[in-house]
Amino acid sequence: MGSINAGERVVMLSGANRGIGSKIAARLAADGYRLSLGARRTDALAESAPDVGPDRMMLNHHEATDLDSARGWVDATVERFGRIDVLINCAGIVDRTGLESMSEDVLDDMWAVNVKGPLRLIRLALPHLRKSGSGRVVNIASLSAKRVKGDSIVGYSMTKYALLALSHAIRQIGWDDGIRVTAVCPGPVATDMMDPDDDTIIQPEDVADLVATVIALPNTASVSELLVGCRMEAWA
């Protein structure tokens, strides 16, 4: 295919109501995409959503732990816009309990949101991404998908490593149909998950710029992993 025409393309974005997700929504709205935004708190989403008319944007309830919620969102997007070209999995949670004290419930919760949430949306969106001919999947993973940094982050790291594996799997499965997949792996980002006021770490707008760049690339320029750091370390 030739260059990507944003105005023709439909993007699904989870975790769109705050943090990195809300910055991605703002950036892609400015770029002219049609947006299907998902959040479990639709009231918060209505407040944070970009100022775009209903012809270019729909707001949806999406609870990442619920298969029916994912199915309803995908179906509603296709019914409204007739296509899905880009799926961005941004919803995620972290728990900082160490390996020895971490309860299995906490690990189950992270697995449900950080891994099964994206897995479900990918499986449901896949037929539509195939039809697009230039489908894109972006999974917001983490540098914690590339290295384990301390005991407090081990459970989160396990889920993000799994998300990275899922990213590579879908990249292989979808390649011949023009689907390109990027795992975005940032270090600490200034959102509620870390500290929204910390200007010494990655800013969420910068992650949004990177996402906008990778989804606009043609099928002939695939970025499988994007490692983003703010401090000197071996990986980024």
Nearest distance from C-beta of residue 110 to ligand NAP, angstroms: 9
Q: In this structure, how many other beta carbons lie within 10 angstroms of the beta carbon of residue 183?
A: 26
Per-residue contact flags (x/-) with ligand NAP for residues 60 to 99, judged by CB under 6 A:
--xxxx------------------------xxxxx-----
What minimum distance in Å lies between the beta carbon of 175 and ligand NAP?
24
Residue type (1 letter), 186 = P
156 given a catalytic annotation: yes
Q: Provide, rounded to whole angstroms, the least separation between the CB of residue 153 and ligand NAP.
A: 10
Q: Which of 59, 194, 212, 227 binds ligand NAP (CB under 6 A)?
A: 194
Q: Which is nearer to ligand NAP, 132 or 207 (CB)?
A: 207
> H or E element: which one contains 36?
strand 34-39
Residues 18-37, mask of contacts with ligand NAP (x by CB under 6 A): xxxx----------------
Q: Is 193 in the site for ligand NAP (CB under 6 A)?
A: yes
Of 33, 81, 156, 161, the catalytic one is: 156
CB 177 within 8 A of CB 133: yes
Among 11, 102, 113, 166, binds ligand NAP (CB under 6 A): 113
CB atoms within 10 A of CB 2: 7
Assess contact for 65 and 106: CB atoms under 8 A.
Answer: no
Choose between 15 and 155: whose C-beta lies nearer to ligand NAP.
15
- Go through 65-76 and write b for each residue having 16 or more CB atoms within 10 A of its CB, e for each that does not: beeebbebbbee
- Spatial separation of the C-alpha atoms in residues 4 and 39, rounded to whole Å: 27
Vertex 75: Cα angle to 110 and 127 (nearest 5): 85
Location of structure tokens 């950080």: 114
What residues does 87 pair with on adjacent strands? 12, 137
Near ligand NAP in 130-189, by CB under 6 A: 140, 142, 186, 188-189
Positions that interact with ligand NAP (CB under 6 A):
15, 17-21, 39-41, 44, 62-65, 90-94, 113, 140, 142, 186, 188-189, 191-194
| Residues known to be catalytic | 156
